[in-house]
Amino acid sequence: METQDLKNKILETIQGKSTLKQKVYDNTLHSFNLLKEVLQELCDYYNNHLTEADNRVLLEYKDNGIFSAQVKVAGDLLIFGMHSNVFEFDREHGVWKTSYVQSNRLASYCGIINIYNFLSDSFKYNRWDDLGYLIGRIFINKEMHYFVEGKRQLGFFYNNFGKDILDKKALADIANLAIHYSLEFDLLVPPYDAVKIINVEQISQRIQFSLMKTGKRLGFRFNSDDVSANSKES
C-alpha cells in the first residue's frame, strides 16, 4: 500500500470508527450518570417504605467515582461499574443475528455497564478472597439503543436491540431486577469437600477476622441460573 493510501486509511478510520467510539463512550457515561440518579432514588423510595424495619436491612447508596457506584441491600452489595472502553462483539455472539446489526454494522459497537453481586460482609471484614458474581451487563450503542445480558429476568432478547432506547425508566427497571435477583440469590453452604482441609494460618485468621472464603455459589456451578433464551432471537 502506498504511503498516501495508508495515510488516507488512517484518516478515514479516525473520522469514522474513532469518532463513533467517542459517541458510544459519551452515551454510556450519560447512561451511567442517569443510573446513579436512579439508584439514589430507589434507595430513598425503599427506605421510606421500610420505616419499621431493622436499620441493618435499609438500602445504602454510595457513589464510588466516575465509573463506579454501589447499593447495599441488607446482606448484599450490588456494584455497578462502567467500563471506560468501547467493545465489539465476537462473531459467535447472538447480536449478529439481529436485523438491526445486519443492516447497520457500526451499531454493534457498544459501551458496557457491569452489575456485580457481592456479600456486603466481604468488604466489611476485608475478605479479599470472597467471590462476586456478574449478574448482568448493559450494552449501549451510538444511538442509545441497548440490550441486557444477565441472570434470569435480567436477560433481554437480542432482538430488542435497535428498538429500545435506554432512558431513566429502563434503567430503573434494570436496577429493580438486579436488586430482586440479588435478594433471591441465596448464600449456599459450600460442599463439605471444599472446606474440609485447612492449615494453621488459615484457621487462626478465620477465627480472628471471619475470613473463610465465601461466595453465594462457592463450589457450585453458577451457570445454572443462566437464561438459555438469552442467546436466541425470538
Confirm if 215 and 130 have CB atoms less than 8 A apart. Answer: yes
Mean pLDDT of 106-122: 93
Q: What is the pTM of this model?
A: 0.82
Q: What is the pLDDT of residue 6?
A: 76
Question: How many other C-beta atoms can be found within 10 angstroms of the C-beta atom of residue 7?
Answer: 11
The Cα 70–Cα 60 span in angstroms is: 8
Q: For 221, left (φ over 0), alpha (ψ -120 to 50), or beta?
A: beta
201-232: pLDDT as tens digits: 666 666 555 555 565 554 444 455 664 334 33
For residue 106, what pLDDT band results from cuts at 50, 70 and 90? very high
* Higher-confidence position of 38 and 218: 38
Q: Which amino acid is at 210?
A: S
SS3 per-residue string spanning 60-89: EEEECCCCEEEEEECCEEEEEEECCCCECC
Residue 116 has pLDDT above 70, yes or no: yes
Per-domain residue ranges for the chain? Answer: 3-231
Distances from the Cα of 45 to the Cαs of 42, 54, 78, 171, 183, in angstroms? 5, 16, 17, 15, 17
